[in-house]
Amino acid sequence: MGRVPDPDFYIAGFDVGVLPSYFAGEALPLAVIEYLFYRKPVVATNVGGMREILVEPGSGDAAGLLTALDPATQRPSVPALAAAMRRYATEGPLYAAHQQTAFRRQSAFGLAGCVEQYEALFEKVATGAQPLAQLPG
């Protein structure tokens, strides 16, 4: 879609968000976070931090389907992406379950969720439960 003045308008009209990236450093793509805020299940390639974003810690519930890169080209596999999208079109219970998980996962990436995670980290560091990384020098 590229850069648009009002992405919310378009995302609200999606049934599924898709991110076919092959960049191994894809740590926290804003597009995927936006899809979660709109309760949109995500079809994405399994690169970077996608699994950590889409899979709920503890329960293992998913907010999307991950596809592997094509082994020959190391690019997104169009047939695998199409198959994942087809699953959402034909498996209503799967779509509904991933939609519910998307709603729960989005809270981890909102302001309150981020503040909560930082507070927990700072508490661990302050009490010595989480050692600081050793800096060179």
Q: What Å distances lie between residue 71 and 25, 67, 68, 115, CA to CA? A: 18, 12, 8, 39
Torsion 127-129-49-43 (CA) sign: negative
Per-residue DSSP letter, 133:
P
Kindly report the number of other CB atoms within 10 A of residue 3's CB atom.
5
For the residues of 11-65, what is the DSSP string, one character each?
Answer: HHH-SSEEE----TT--S-HHHHHHHHTT--EEEES-TTHHHHHB-TTT--BSEE
What confidence score (pLDDT) does residue 135 get? 44
- Which tens digits make up the pLDDT trace of 42-95? 999 999 999 999 999 999 999 999 999 999 999 999 999 999 999 999 999 999
- Please write the tens of the pLDDT for every residue from 9-28: 999 999 999 999 999 988 88
Q: Does residue 15 or residue 124 have the better pLDDT?
A: 15
Order the strands of the 42-45 sheet from edge to edge. Answer: 17-19, 42-45, 64-67
Residue 134 has pLDDT above 60, yes or no: no
Q: How many residues make up the chain in this entry? A: 137
Helix axes 78-90, 92-106, angle to 10 degrees: 100
Question: In this predicted model, what pLDDT tens digit does every residue of 77-87 receive, in sequence order?
Answer: 999 999 999 99
pLDDT (0 to 100) of residue 39: 96
Q: 76 - beta bridge partners? A: 69
Domains of the chain as residue ranges with CATH: 7-127 (3.40.50.2000)
Q: How confident is the model at residue 110 (pLDDT cuts 50, 70, 90)?
A: confident
